[in-house]
Structure 1
């Protein structure tokens, strides 16, 4: 339990937490299909977008596909597009050639990359938490080169005491071993850790099971904001509210040295 322990460290997810990366695939597919309206021929862009969205949902909900896909998202989207247009073909709907399907999938990947951005206040919040004395770790799944490129692109590397990427260490969320590896690197116990992420399955539930304090980041949350939702202790729509939630949980930590030990204050 974290009730009697001061929060000393914050472990934060990358995609769709610090970065706006993969939300609303339906809107992204629709945007791409509208651009490719001529290539779609008799197939309405909205029909194609719905089929692509459904195929994507089925692909990412399968644990085996998810494991392969997060290592190579571009190839995963090609598979998704092929499955979507094959499903339309089986339903006797107008469809497109495999070449066009692949071009649409690659356009989707490019669209996602161009639209990717830091969440509002993300960098300022990281600076604020570090200045307050919290140990910070970035814990993300995916391939090392892909995730490192995002980290460098948005200048995040210097904000963290520890960065852990599934593809680099061989273990990822929701495996408890991934979290324990981070705790060891930060020299903290689970009750001293707040885990922040956008997924109940990948971030919140495994962290809470280990005894961490958890904050679900959901910018589209409704009345659940500020209260537990599912297994999360707190739900927030903004990253700017992280520090206040941590302060409510316990007194702010004192400064810590590089080894993660809290410095003593001369009173």
Structure 2
């Protein structure tokens, strides 16, 4: 994987995919975007795969996007906007959406084991899993509006089947942090466990013991029947391309970094 940002261990048909940047709370930088995408693409063709576990090394699952990337984006906004609205190879998902949506597209069940912070990009990555098991002290946030942006890593495909539109909008607009118990009540978390990784491993072993055709069929059935599909990804991309790099968005970034109130025009 790119710069060892992600590790993959496979045993008895179960792949354990670990975000491996613990010193930065597994925040997404360019290397992490590439590594998570590559991990998902690799497992698409892994023979004998029965289930996948997503987890994060260290004190948290994922703190979101590395703020250094926000500065990098400002260097060539026209190229960035073009990339956002032009997915590669005819794919529905662009480079920023694919690390999250690839897990929903994987034919086998994916379980996210969440602990510590699960913010922004990390929240959207967790939504890409089919099942989310979280420690009671997990903190979750759809945080993009804090940086003057909209969530643009596949949330429009991944969230609609989980919670009501008004509740989703409130979380998006407020960017507030919710604890695991509230997140479970809202539908963001499947269940709580004191040791979410151990619980995810138990769940994966139980899935692996079932007929592989039945488990793949069950995932395909649920993903096709619940709201949320690839069609919304293009709208997500168009809206973000119009927002990113605007004066108010850049002001949101600067205000956040300087820990002051933003002055929007």
**Bin of the TM-score, shorter chain as denominator length:** under 0.3
- State the TM-score, normalizing by the size of structure 1: 0.24
- State the TM-score, normalizing by the size of structure 2: 0.24
- Where relative contact order (Cα < 8 A, 6+ residues apart) is larger, the structure is 1
